[in-house]
C-alpha cells in the first residue's frame, strides 16, 4: 500500500506570513519544519549517495524540532489536551529509539533502509496527528503568545541542534 503523506499541511510562500510579516509564530514555524523534515526524509530514502551526511542532517533537524516542541508547545498544551500530548511524547520517544537503531548500523545495509522507512511512516502519522494540537494551539493562544512561544521554540531547537551536532554557538 502506498503511504499517503499528510494532506493537512498548507503553507504560505517562504518568508511571507501575511500582512507583511517576516517572522513566523510557533505554529507557522512548526508547520514549516514538518514540510522540511518530510522532504529531507524523502530524499534520504531515495538517495544512496551521501547517506551518512543526509542522515545526520535529518536526525539533528528532528531532534531539534522535537526538543523545541516538548519545551514549548507540549508544555503549554498538556493542560488543554493531555491525552494527545502524552501520545505525541510517546511518538517522539519512538523516533529516538529508531535513531538509536539506525546509529548502530551501517547505512548501506538493507535493514537500515527498513528502519528508515519505519521512521518515515511514523513521522508522517505523527505530523498528521500533531495538526490537531496545532489547530487547538491557534485557538487557545492569542497573537502575542504565539510569537513569544515562536521565539522560545526557535531558541530551544537551535540549542538542541548545536548540542546534537557537536557545534557550539
Give contact residues for Fe ion (rule: CB under 5 A).
69, 130
Q: Judged by CB, which is closer to Fe ion: 71, or 102? A: 71
Assigned C-alpha cell, 97: 529509539
- What minimum distance in Å lies between the beta carbon of 110 and Fe ion? 28
Least CB distance from residue 139 to Fe ion, whole Å? 18
Residue closer to Fe ion (CB basis): 65 or 115: 65
Euclidean distance between CA atoms 68 and 159, whole angstroms:
9
Report the nearest approach of Fe ion to the CB of residue 68 (Å).
Answer: 8
| Shortest Cβ 145–Fe ion spacing (Å) | 18
Quote the least distance from Cβ 108 to Fe ion, whole Å. 29
- Minimum CB distance to Fe ion smaller for 112 or for 152: 152
Q: Which is nearer to Fe ion, 28 or 130 (CB)?
A: 130
Return all residues near 99 (Cβ < 8 A) that are at least 6 apart.
59, 62, 63, 119
Between 61 and 69, whose beta carbon lies closer to Fe ion?
69
Cα separation, 139 vs 133, in Å, equals 10
Long-range contacts of 34-41 (CB under 8 A, 24+ apart): 34/6, 34/9, 34/127, 34/130, 35/9, 35/11, 36/61, 37/61, 37/62, 37/65, 37/123, 37/127, 38/5, 38/6, 38/123, 38/124, 38/127, 41/116, 41/119, 41/120, 41/123
Amino acid at each position: 500500500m502506498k503511504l499517503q503523506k499528510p494532506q493537512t499541511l498548507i503553507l504560505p510562500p517562504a518568508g511571507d506570513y501575511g500582512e507583511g510579516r517576516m517572522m513566523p509564530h510557533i505554529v507557522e514555524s512548526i508547520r514549516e519544519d514538518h514540510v522540511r523534515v518530510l522532504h529531507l526524509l524523502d530524499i534520504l530514502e531515495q538517495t544512496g549517495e551521501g547517506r551518512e551526511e543526509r542522515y545526520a542532517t535529518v536526525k539533528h533537524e528532528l531532534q531539534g524540532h522535537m526538543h523545541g516542541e516538548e519545551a514549548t508547545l507540549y508544555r503549554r498544551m498538556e493542560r488543554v489536551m493531555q491525552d494527545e500530548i502524552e501520545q505525541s511524547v510517546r511518538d517522539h520517544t519512538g523516533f529516538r529509539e529508531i535513531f538509536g537503531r539506525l546509529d548502530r548500523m551501517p547505512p548501506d545495509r538493507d535493514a537500515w533502509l527498513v528502519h528508515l522507512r519505519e521512521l518515515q511512516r511514523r513521522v508522517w502519522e505523527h505530523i498528521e496527528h500533531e495538526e490537531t494540537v496545532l489547530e487547538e494551539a491557534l485557538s487557545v493562544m492569542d497573537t502575542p503568545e504565539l510569537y513569544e512561544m515562536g521565539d522560545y521554540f526557535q531558541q530551544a531547537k537551535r540549542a538542541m541542534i548545536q548540542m546534537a551536532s557537536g557545534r557550539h554557538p
